[in-house]
DNA sequence: CCATATGTTACTCG
DNA sequence: ACGAGTAACATATG
């Protein structure tokens, strides 16, 4: 579910609520959620320690632990980190609970159970293969352009490839390609210089807007995005093409189409985003 | 029953 | 080597 703006919103919320409190108990109800350790080892490493900082890398949440470990979490499709108080009780999809000394409980909730925790002293082992952070200093146009020229893959597949650029998912990719007026199936090495530049800027624009709106919450089911305070985002109200199948393009009024690209539902305007020969 | 879902990875085929 | 396609993970929803 969550892409860069959603994870950023979650991290900002968590930072205010759980730092520097001792972890006094950990319940593990679904141990496959922990990728690197047994539930027993996971508990013994984290118990009586504390989270001293929380940062984000791409779609990963990095909890910096006082004992020099990093607890890295990827939410995949439906993972949520929910901050609750003393008397809240874990329910069906709450797979791990961290109890803090002040009574705060951190629930890891995940309907589809795809999310994973990685506990490691070497962050690079988990994060090392990621491409540049699109809102960071390492996202440089000359390098972006050079890398686009190096592959014939469909541009949508390239943008979803976390080793090419880290943090985009299905929603923000469709939005960025619409803003740059590029067809999602356009080969990456056949995009004009001006459209490459437009795409470079569009990626940053859609992510910044997503963060400003505190993420995109689609629908109202269990698996939809919510922040650590269980609040919905507002970015769904500003989308131009994603989930707008059959509606008029905000730019040209033509009907937004939906196709499948790289196994993902893909929304675009056939007038604004033409495939170039 | 079928298709689809904000993600990632392993595997096959050409 | 490269890129496309498929399946898998597990659950909910229309």
pLDDT per residue as tens digits for the range A78-88: 999 999 999 99
Judge if A120 and A148 occupy the same domain: no
Judge if A92 and A147 occupy the same domain: no
List pLDDT tens digits, range A192-248. Answer: 999 999 999 999 999 999 999 999 999 877 778 999 999 999 999 999 999 999 999
Judge if A116 and A147 occupy the same domain: no
Among all residues of A, which ones are annotated catalytic? 2-3, 59, 264
List pLDDT tens digits, range A111-137. Answer: 999 999 999 999 999 999 999 999 999
Judge if A161 and A95 occupy the same domain: no
Report the percentage of chain A scoring pLDDT > 70.
Answer: 100
Q: A13, A12, A27, A29: which is closest to A83 by C-alpha?
A: A13
Task: Quickly give A166 CA vs C7 C1' distance in Å.
Answer: 24
- Kindly report the CATH number assigned to the domain that includes residue A8: 3.20.190.10
Confidence of residue A75 (pLDDT cuts 50, 70, 90): very high
Judge if A107 and A82 occupy the same domain: yes
pLDDT at site A224 = 87
Domain assignment present for residue A93? The answer is: yes
pLDDT at site A274 = 96
Judge if A104 and A209 occupy the same domain: no
Total domains present in chain A: 2
- Kindly report the CATH number assigned to the domain that includes residue A260: 1.10.8.50
Task: Quickly give A49 CA vs B4 C1' distance in Å.
Answer: 42
Asked whether A153 and A191 are in contact (CB, 8 A), the reply is: no
Q: How many residues does chain A have?
A: 277
Strand partners, A80: A109
A1 touches strand B (CB under 7 A): yes
CA distance A159 to A256: 20
Task: Quickly give A241 CA vs C6 C1' distance in Å.
Answer: 27
Judge if A89 and A160 occupy the same domain: no
CA distance A36 to A22: 22
Nearest nucleotide by C1' position to the A174 CA atom? B6
Confidence of residue A276 (pLDDT cuts 50, 70, 90): confident
Judge if A88 and A147 occupy the same domain: no
Q: Which residue has the tokens 């949508």?
A: A156
Separation in Å, CA A259 to CA A79, A121, A156, A213:
26, 42, 12, 27
Mean pLDDT of chain A: 97
Expressed as residue numbers, the domain containing A241 is: 141-268
pLDDT at site A220 = 79
- Nearest residue to nucleotide C6, by CA–C1' distance, is A263
């Amino acid at each position: 579910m969550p892409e860069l703006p959603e994870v950023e919103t979650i991290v900002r919320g968590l930072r205010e609520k759980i730092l520097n409190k001792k972890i006094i108990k950990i319940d593990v109800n679904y141990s496959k959620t922990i990728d690197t350790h047994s539930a027993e080892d996971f508990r013994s490493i984290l118990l009586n320690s504390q989270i001293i900082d929380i940062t984000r890398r791409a779609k990963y949440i990095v909890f910096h632990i006082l004992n020099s470990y990093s607890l890295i979490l990827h939410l995949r499709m439906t993972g949520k980190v929910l901050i609750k108080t003393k008397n809240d009780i874990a329910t069906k999809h709450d797979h791990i609970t961290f109890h803090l000394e002040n009574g705060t409980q951190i629930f890891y909730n995940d309907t589809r159970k795809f999310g994973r925790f990685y506990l490691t002293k070497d962050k690079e082992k988990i994060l090392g293969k990621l491409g540049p952070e699109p809102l960071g200093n390492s996202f440089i146009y000359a390098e972006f352009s050079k890398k686009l020229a190096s592959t014939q893959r469909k541009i949508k597949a390239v943008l979803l490839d976390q080793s090419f650029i880290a943090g985009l998912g299905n929603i923000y990719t469709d939005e960025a390609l619409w803003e740059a007026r590029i067809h999602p199936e356009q080969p990456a090495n056949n995009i004009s210089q001006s459209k490459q530049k437009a795409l470079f800027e569009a990626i940053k624009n859609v992510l910044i807007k997503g963060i400003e709106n505190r993420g995109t919450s689609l629908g109202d089911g269990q698996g939809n995005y919510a922040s650590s305070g269980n609040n919905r985002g507002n970015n769904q109200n500003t989308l131009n093409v994603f989930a707008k199948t059959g509606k008029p393009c905000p730019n040209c009024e033509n009907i937004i189409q939906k196709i499948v690209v790289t196994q993902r539902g893909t929304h675009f305007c056939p007038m604004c985003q033409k495939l170039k020969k």
